[in-house]
Structure formats: structure tokens, C-alpha cells
Amino acid sequence: MAQVHDAETARKDAEEPIEQVLARYSTNQRDGLSPEQASKKLVEDGPNELNKAVRPTLLMLFVMQLLGFIIILLIIAAIASMVVNATNKEKASDPLSYTTGIAIFVIVLINAGIAAWTEHKAGGALEALSKLSQASIFVIRGGNEVSVPTNSLVRGDIVVLGTGDVVPADIRLVEAEDLKVSEASLTGEPDDVAKTAKLKAKKAGEIEKLTPEVCVFSGCNVANGKGRGVVVATGMGTRIGHIARLVEGEEKPKKKCFCLPDTSASQTPLQINLEKLGAKIGVLAILVCVIVFIVGVAADRKDVANPEGSAAIYMILIAVTLAVAAIPEGIPLCVTISLSIGCKDMVEKNVVVKKLAAVETLGSASVICSDKTGTLTEGKMTMVGMWSGDVSYDVEGKGFDPTIGKVVNSSTKENAGNALGVRSTLCSALLCCNTTLIKETDPATKEVKWEPRGNSSEAPIVVAGRKVGFSENIGEEYKRALEIPFSSSRKMMLTVSDVSGRETLCSNGMPLPAGSKYLVVCKGAPNYIADLCQERLGADGSVQPMTETAKKSLLEVVDDYSSKALRVLAVAVRPMQDMPFDESDEDISTDDKFGALRQNLCLVGLVASIDPDRDGVKESVISARGAGIRVVMITGDYVKTAIAIAKNVCILMPEDDENVAACDCDNLRPGGAYLANRDMDILTARTRVFARAKPEDKLEIVKSIQRQGQVAAMTGDGVNDAPALNQANIGVAMGIQGTEVAKGAAAMILTDDNFCSIVAAVEKGRAIYSGIQKFVAFIMSVHIAEVLQIFVCIVVGMPVMRTPLQILFLILVTDLPPSIALGMEPGEPGILKQRPRPKTEPITLSYMWVSMFLNGAVLSAVIIAVYIVALMKYCDGEVLQDGIMKAFPKDAEEKLSHARTVAFISLVWSENIRSYIARSFNQPFWVNLCGNKMMQYAILLAQLCLYAAVFIPGFSTKILVLDGIAIGGFGWGLAVAGPAGTLLLCELCKIITYYQMSAYQKQLLLAEQEAQAAMLKEGIDAVLPKDSKNAATKGDEPPKTKPQENINATPIRDENIDIVQKSDRQTVDI
């Protein structure tokens, strides 16, 4: 039976006294559960693991590919062809009679195989979730500490945690000693979170943290310290299990055709458009086939090769021929090949695509929702500023590599690595750190990287210290005599180091009083440190009194850093000759020692850090804006921090109103329940920065954007991003820092974790879609021409111009290579400046249909003219079928094959010419004529196939019934008329298309402006009346007023660090 761990139970587990929690789960802190209790609960709750979604098998995926409308029509046509021939006594025993049906089946199977195999290689998000925990963990059972498999944990188990462990379940702490946990994968924020077993009463007006500080959660890493706790939730009852349910979806998988999963809800715009196009074509094909069948039977049209046969049977074969001509069997295969090649090209742009259709979907993205940490930013806290002795310094470089960047004077920009204030501040801060910096080699990529080991808040100090030359072994040079770790009540960390025999703190550091044996170092929240300081270090190394004026100046510097969302630590010291307490007295408490040591401190300086934005992100966001794409940042940060980062990367521009463009996610769920869809959509339509977001918030934001008809792309790297990645039209995960969960939920992965690669991928996606539109128009015009030619032949009474197998050969052998080459067309200049196409926009636009019918009509008219002349030449002036059968009762089929051969050659040449014409709907064919190298290869291949079809004995005369030798020079010369006429007339048609394209772009712009105006009006109508009426309920409160409240009243708080307004200054947890 699955465990029940709802929101109310989770609240009680986090807020009730530990005695009540232990009693609820029938356990105790000292002995834990008995083995018998644990076994019984394991049966009741089930194993501590996540549900695994049943992934479709390769066979199931293959069968699913056969359910497309076009594919079904092709299968029906193939079956009809084979059945009709099987019922014909003369053809039933001839294997060549079945070549048409077999050929269609081969095309269908190849297409399904390629698509199924590509999707089969995609990984599963829920499988990755299940790998987040380690194999075993220590627990207290029956009073003994034993190691048990993590999947055997049950509620009530007492778990022992240590540095390096992965938290195996959701746990309420009963003991915590300097315990810090990395919750980056759960909340998306980089700082280690300090945890405590002490339950604190919530103060009035205090902002709720993203996670309770008395609980640790499944899948998170223990970064520091140790602790014990009682398991309160396992498996799908944990927070990570809740995320798994969001990824999996609340509803049970829908089925179609009895057993196959229904994937219609997750179809991409391209797939939807192709399905709609296929449906239209299918209806038209059936209609044309019925009309021709009726006309043919009424006119008693019979087979030239079997004049005694039934007209009805012959017209069924003609209807199959029409079906083959009308149904664009090349489109599914061509799209699959084009997208597969696009996937390969994307790798060069550092993008790995897991789902074929995702290639073009990113090109249609109109909104990119991005996580902040690790996506827009480095995900690595970096020191960017320092202050000491009334002098400000800048710290250059990003990340953890100490060889990049230096410390410079903010005013003069001169190297300040040897400045007394810089060296004194960093040296004293290093003496109060436990973090180390090591160089390691990635076993997979062989890349050498610098990585910190320890507290992430101390990493910027260690990196900056190495930049100015401090040794990695500085801790061994200054023996530590005492350490008092950080606590949320102290708001600082304190160490005492041995400085015996030193005249200065360090090389070119602050002087130490004679006889100094110990040095107390405190680092922590500036306002707390400042209140304890009696003195401060001057720029020249002198010690000056901390006057009220100096303190005010110091706090103004803190406020300036805070306004830039920097996280500030103050560092203060106190040289001593002796400890202010008896070191041998074991009864002195830690708090007493702390109180005695923190007196009469001397402020040395401030250090300010931030998670910096990635290189190139700002430019990429600007490029996205130019492409008509709205970039939205969704983060767990508080509003002010989020706004600062958004401004740095140009998501928010200087002219933007922060009260409108940024909001706290509490606005999405006033009173705990999410806004109604209409109100939610109004809010998300105008907001570009969402702060303090939970995983469910990201999911609701993406859903809201999709309801507005937008194509949403979501980027992220953490477990918390997985539900939104799965819901988005296109999920983009980070390949380096991304969790396996995010990668599993995403449709594509950025191998370089660079937001900039997304814009490059958007451009490539648009180019691929444009190429798909071109070859769809090209193929459709071919099919229109084929249908018109056969229709005219039947109605007029001429012999049908070609057989079904000849049509298949034309479309799939001589026309398919150029079609694929069109799909590989390089993007036209300025393609990134175009507006994103609407989600509902069909793959073939109105002007494309006009172009297709014009080109099809031109091609039909030219080839029919060539065919008529050929019939007159080879059939002694006879053109109609009845006349030919009377004039040549024995060799009519042979005479007819000569005329068909001429028309066949002329059509292939004409189509090859049209391949160059189709590269643009409105530009002349000679513009960048040889710009697509693949087109040259495609035309060469098509020509080789043509000559094989008309010259190879047996294949040409027996199977295709063509003869390139028998037609002689006249026939080859006549065939040239086709491409000549096609080139002239199709180029003239572009004049019409040019004006239609211009009109469509104007119409699109007008529609977009009207939609924006309507949304703005709706937002005003929804907000202003309620504002003016002072709505009584919180749910009716205008969203527009909420962000301002958050900005004014909400401190920037990132678990370990609090930054508040001037009234409370800044507090920092280390």
C-alpha cells in the first residue's frame, strides 16, 4: 500500500515538536525502530524508490509510426494494388505485378524504422530520478547502528548522516552539528543550506523559506557536518517523489488502438501540421479517385494491354495510380531524413537532440523560459568586489579558476593584489574558512578543472586568495587553536589562530601588536560584525576608531553592494596575547567562549560575491529579442536578486517597470491556490521575471504560456526543472551541470551548458523548418502535376501517361534526392529577424498553396504538350486511346511506351530545373545558385537514376516499361522542351507569389499587434476595476500591486545569506 504524505502531514513534520513527530511514527531517538517494526512498515509503505514509467518498446514505437494519416492511406493504396493484381488472372502469377505495392510498403517501413529508432534512444526522466540516492545508509535499528539498503528505509527509521552522504529520504532532524546540505538540484540555488534540529517560532512578517531548516530532503547532498533524523517520507511520498509525479503527469497514460500510448497531447507543431496536411490531402485524394473512377467507368476506359478486360477493374488500378500520385509518400520520409540531418548538424552547435521533431519546434519558439542558476549564470559563487580602509576593489574573473583574473583598484584599475587592505582582508578571511580548492581532471572529457571542496559560501574567498598569491596550505602555516562554527543565531563564524612570532598578519599585511600570540577572526553578516567592532583598519595599515561616522560610511558601502544583489561578508580580527578564558576549564560552554572572544574587534574589510552571468548570455538575450522571442527568467531567488540578474543579462531593460515585469510567485497562488486560468494568463503575459518559484510554479507558468497560443521552450538543469521541461513544447537541459533527471525530461541537451547555444539552435531550427516548407511545396506541386496529368488523360481519352510504378520511381528516386537537398537549404539572410511563426500556422501557407497549384499547372501543361507531340510521333498521328488501339492492335503497348519514355525524361529534367527554382518562393533561381552543395549532388544522383531507368536492359523495359534507345534523337530533343518551358513559366509565377508573401507578412504583423492590444485591454479590464473597488478578497487583489509589495518588504534571502533594506542592513549566514 502506498504511503500517504500530503501537504498537511508534511507541515506537521516540519513545525511540530520532535517528540510529537517521533510519536507519530512510533519510534524513538535512541533505539529507532526494531527490525520487526521496520519489516512490517516496509510491507505497508513499499520500497523507498520512485515509480518507474513503462517506456514504449522499440516495436511499440515502430507500430505508432504507422498510424499517421498519410501512412495509412499509403498502406491502403498498396493493399488495393496488390489485391487487384492478385484477382487478375493474367497478372496474378507475375511477380512484377506486385512491385508497386511492395515498393510502397518498403517506403513506409523505412520511414517508420528511422523515426522509431531515433525516439527509442531517448532516456527516461523517471529512471534518472531513481538513481539520485546511494546504495546504502546507516540507521539506528534496535539500538544498534547498522548499514541498510536505501530502498529498505521506512518512515520512523533514525538515519545517521555525514559529510558526503546523499540524503536517502525526507528526514526531520533530531540532531545537527554544523550540518549543511546542497539543495541545488531541488531548489535550483547554488548555496549550501544550513540546517538545525532546533525548532524556531516563526516571527510575524517573516518570509517563508523554500525548505524548512529542520528538514533535509531526498536526493540532496550533505556538504558539511553531521546529523541524525527521523524518516518522515519515502519513495513517491518525498518531495522528489512529488516532482516525479509532476513529470509523470497526474492522469493515467491514455491509450489508442487498444494498447498503444496516445501521444497526441505532446505532439509538436510540425507533427500537428503534418497530420492536418495529411488529412486534407487524403480527403482530396479520395475525392479525385472517386470522380475519376466514375468518369472512367462511364466512358468505358480500358487497359491498352488488356482491351477485353473490365473497365471497372482497370479504373480501380487507375484509382490506385491516382492515389499514389496524390498522396505525398515522400513527405514523411523526407521530413524524417531532414530532421535526422538537422539533429546531426545541431551537434556542431553543442546541442544534442533526443526527439526528431524537437529540431523544428525550437525554431518556432516564441517564449524561452530559463532557470537562472547554472543556465543564465555560472552557478559558481564568485567574488567580484572588496572594500578595506575606505578603498574599493574589483575582483576579475569568473568561476573557480584562480589563474584567471586579478584584484584591481576600482578607481585606478591598477593591480591591487599587493595592497595592504586586500591582503589583510583575504588572509584573515582564509583563516576563518574550511574550504579547499583543488585541481582535478574529468575522467570522461580529460578536462582539467578547479573545484572547491567544502562550503560554497567560502569558495569565492579561497579563489580570490589564490589570485593574490596565498598558498593552498595557509591553514598549516597558521595553526588553528579554536573554531566556533556558524549558527543562525550567531550570524557569523569565529576562529582563533596561532600567530606567535609574527609582526604582520601576512606578507604586506596589517601590523600585529608586539607579543601577539593569537588572532581571533570573525566573518559574517556586516551589521552584526559592525556592532562588535571598536576599531577599523586604515588604508595605510593604521588602526582607527570605529566612529559613528565610519560605521555609517561602512553600512552605506554594504547598501551599495546589496543594491546590486551582491552577497556581502564582513571580516574582523582581534590580536591577543592570551585567551580571555581558562583553556583547561572544560566546563566553559561554546557560547561563553564566543562571547569572550568577539569583543573589541577591528574591522578589516568586506568581500562581495555573486553568481555571475555567463559570458555571451547578454548578447544572446538581445538576439532573442530581435528574433521576436520573449525570454523569461524563473528562479528560486528573491525578487530583488532576480531583478538584478535580469538587468545584467538584459531580460529586463532600463525602461521596464519592475513592478509589472517582475513578480514573486506568491502572486500566482494567493491564499495557497493558483489563480484562475484567465487571471494567470494575464499575469504571465506581461511578466519576464518570476522569483521564489517552486517546481509547481514553473509548471503552471509554462502551461499558462501555452494556453496563450505560444510555443514555450524551457531550459533548466535541476531536479526542480524536470516537470516544466517535460511540459514545455521543447525542454532544453544543461549537459554539464544538469542532473540526469533534467536530461531525461528534456527533448534536447546543451553540451556546453551555454544559453547562447539556444539562440544558435533557434536559427538552425528556423532554417530547417523553412527547408521543410520548401520541399513540402516542391513535392506537393509534383503530386498536383501527376494528378492533373492522369485526370486529363482519363477525361480526354488519351492513354494514361505513366504507370503507378513509374510514378513511384519519379517521386521517390528522381524527386526525393532534390527534396532532401531542399530540406538542407542554408537559412536565408535575416531569418533570425523574422517573427516566430504562430503555433497554429499551417506548414503550407496560402501563398504556398497558390505557388504549388501554379507550378503544378505549369508542369502539367508543359509535359502534357510534350506527351501529345510524342504520341503523334510514335503512334502515327493518333492521340486518343481508342484510335491507337485500332491503329496498332498488336503493338499498341510498345508504341505507347515510347511516348511515355519521352514524357518521363522530360518530367525528370523539368523537376531537376524546378529544384533550383523551389529554393526560394520569391527570389530568382540564379540568386546564390550554387549555395547549397547538397543540391548539386542530389541532381547528379537524380540524373544517374534517370539514365538507369531508361537504359538498363530488363529493369527499364520489363519493370518500368521504358526504352531510352528506341525513342531516338527526336525523342531526346523533344524532352528538352519540358524543362525550358518550365523554367520560363515557373519563374514568371514568382511575381504573383512575391506580392502574396508581402501581403501575408503585413497581415501577420497586424494580427500580432491586435492580439497584443487585446491582451493589454483584457489586463487593464481585469485589474483596474478591482483596484478601484478595493476588492475584499485576497484572491481578487490585482496582481499588478503585488510585486511592489514584495520589492519593498521582501529581503533577498538565499538560505545562507539575507540581504535586506537599509532599515535592517544585511545579514549573512556562513
SS3 813: helix
Cα separation of 297 and 557, whole Å? 94
Q: Bridge-partner residues for 624, per DSSP? A: none
- Residue 183 C-alpha cell reads as 539543495
Instruction: Report DSSP letters for 249-288, one per residue.
Output: -SSPPPEETTTEE--GGG--HHHHHHHHHHHHHHHHHHHH
Catalytic residue among 178, 371, 664, 721: 371
Distance between CA 13 and CA 173 in Å, rounded? Answer: 10
Question: Exposed, middle or buried by CB within 10 Å (0-12, 13-18, 19+), for 169?
Answer: buried
Q: Strand order in 1066-1068's β-sheet?
A: 1052-1053, 1057-1059, 1066-1068
For residue 112, give the nearest of 332, 323, 259, 264 by alpha carbon: 332
Kindly tell me the burial class for residue 672, based on how many C-beta atoms sit within 10 Å of its own C-beta (0-12, 13-18, 19 or more): exposed
676: how many CB neighbours lie within 10 A of its CB? 10
Residue 614 · residue 377 · CB < 8 Å: yes
CA distance 415 to 155: 58
- Directed axis angle between helix 311-326 and helix 269-298, to 10°? 160
779 in Cβ contact with 335 (< 8 Å): no
What is 422-474 written as a DSSP string?
HHHHHHHHHTT---EEEEEE-TTT--EEEEEES-TTTHHHHHHHHHTT--TTH
Phi, psi torsion values for 453, nearest 5 degrees: -125, 110
Q: Which of 668, 695, 669, 666 is nearest to 684 (CA)?
A: 668
Distance CA 946, CA 638 (A): 67
What b/e sequence results for 891-906 when a residue is b if at least 16 CB atoms lie within 10 Å of its CB, and e otherwise?
ebbebbbbbbbbbbbb
Residue 221 · residue 192 · CB < 8 Å: no
Residue with cell 524543362: 979
Ramachandran quadrant class, 267 (left: phi over 0; alpha: psi -120 to 50; beta: rest): beta
Q: Quick check: 529 and 603 in contact, CB under 8 A?
A: yes
User: Rounded distance, CA 643 to CA 486, Å?
Assistant: 29
CB 210 within 8 A of CB 195: no
Q: How many CA within 13 A on the CB side of residue 708?
A: 27
> What value, to the nearest 5°, has the Cα angle with vertex 194 and ends 485 and 696?
175
Taken as a whole, the chain contains a residue count of 1070
Which residue has 509532476 as its cell numbers? Answer: 246
Using N-to-C axis directions, what is the helix angle for 58-65 and 99-120, rounded to 10°? 130
Please say if 371 is a catalytic residue.
yes
- CB atoms inside a 10 Å sphere around CB 121: 9
- Bridge partners of residue 177, in order along the sequence: 226
Query: How many CA atoms are closer than 13 Å to the CA of 732, on its beta-carbon side?
Result: 33
Other Cβ atoms closer than 10 A to 702:
27
Could you list the active site residues? 371
